[in-house]
Amino acid sequence: MINALIDSVQKEHLRDTDIGEFNIGDSVNVHTRIKEGDKERIQIFSGTVIRRKAGHGDINAAFTVRRIVDGQGVERTFPVHSPRIEKVEVFREGKVRRAKLYYLRDRVGKSAKVKEKVRIK
């Protein structure tokens, strides 16, 4: 239960542009704006979404993307409502049976992969 005043403060800072729909287990490209000096460029972080935190109307909403870089697991957590996030692009849908994929952290190689969701039309 959020106080109405707090809600009214948060509302002004919720993002109005959609970052795109994605689910847990999806492989995504997260486009983030990076400032270098006075230049701005887009950096892409791609990996598997292993968790989503808080709902849509909540300013604290965030999601975590995991990937393997040079054999080392790397996780980045992005606040959904941060203006630095340009968009999230799904390039592969995952078939998962739980909401938090923390089990991927204990796995290496092929078992650390999420199966692709097959859509039958």
Partner 1 sequence: MSTAIFGTKIGMTRIFDGDVAVPVTVVEVQPNEVVEVKDNEKHGYSALKVAVGPAKSGKNVGKALAGEYKKADVAPRRFLREIPSVDGAELGSKITAETLNVDATVNVMAISKGRGFAGVMKRYNFAGHNATHGASKSHRGPGAIGCRMDPGRVWKNKKMPGHYGHAQITVRNLKIVKVDLEKNIVLIKGSIPGPNGGLVNLSQK
Sites of contact with partner 1 (CB under 8 A): 3, 5-6, 8-10, 12-13, 33, 35, 59-60, 79, 81-84
* Min separation Cβ 35 and partner 1, Å: 8
Give the nearer residue to partner 1 in terms of CB position, either 23 or 82. Answer: 82
| Residue number, 83 or 108, with CB nearest to partner 1 | 83
Shorter beta-carbon distance to partner 1: residue 14 or 108: 14
SS (H, E, C) 38-62: CEEEEEEEEEEEEEEECCCCCCCCE
- The CA-atom distances, in angstroms, between 77 and each of 8, 63, 64, 108 are 25, 6, 4, 21
